[in-house]
Amino acid sequence: MDHSPITATLSTSAILRKPTPRLHNSKTNWDTYRQIKQDKVNLSTKPKEHKDITLETNHLLNSLQHATKEATPNSDPQRTTNNIPYEIKKLVAEKRRARSIWQRTYAPDKRRKYNRTSSKLKSKLPEMWNESFEKYVSNFKRQDNSIWKPIKNKGISKTTSSPIRKYSTPPGPWAKSDRGKLLAEHLSEVFSPHNNDQDQEVEQDLATPNESQDRLKAFTLKEIKDDIKMLNQ
């Protein structure tokens, strides 16, 4: 038999792995990188020996790494962790065990134990949620606008697709699969082309020449004011 040892790591909280180090990210300023690279890299040197080539190669790599670090801002990724307390995990395991035993035996005492464990778990969960919410809210900061991110899209109203019903007397049934057909029929009735037939009465009035009218007598602004005062009296 193989007696190879098995090594396991146990922890009461989640073990967070460090992110893979990267030389650049999406916020790297490549214009700054090019400027620093042009200032640091010297192309006029002429290595003569193998040692000189090695030194120049290391200098070039260090210059490129330095330029990338200078052009890349530091970013601290915030990973939300959902660490469930050990007490909650224990109550969940006890509830599942008690439910399994009760479903196999249907004994009254096992049912009471299952109900007692379930009630205890229900009373502990709000405490955990309140504590988690308080911790979540306490991490908000006004400087980095993190306080506005959770409510950024809360005020945007969501448009819902209204149900379509056939317009008739009495009203028809609600449309389920033929909504497009009913909508097309409604639009064809509403948006009908205009009647381009000529109105004879209108054409006759337009063809009749206007009779000459006397020109209006000129008036002054003072006369208008006097008339307005007389009307207001």
Phi-psi region of 66 (alpha: psi -120 to 50; beta: other; left: phi over 0): alpha
- CA distance linking residue 114 with residue 154, whole number of Å: 40
Would you state the structure tokens that stand for residue 95, as one six-digit string?
């509830």
The pLDDT of residue 3: 64
Averaged pLDDT of the chain: 79
Count the alpha carbons within 13 Å of 42 in the hemisphere toward its beta carbon. 8
Q: Is 67 exposed, middle or buried (0-12, 13-18, 19+ CB in 10 A)?
A: buried
For the cut 80, the answer to whether the pLDDT of residue 107 exceeds it is yes
Provide the pLDDT for residue 112.
93
Q: Is the pTM of this model over 0.75?
A: no
Residue 101 confidence (pLDDT): 93
- In the numeric block, the tokens 């009296």 are attached to 233
Rounded CA-CA distance 133/136 in Å is: 5
Q: Give me the pLDDT at residue 211, please.
A: 63
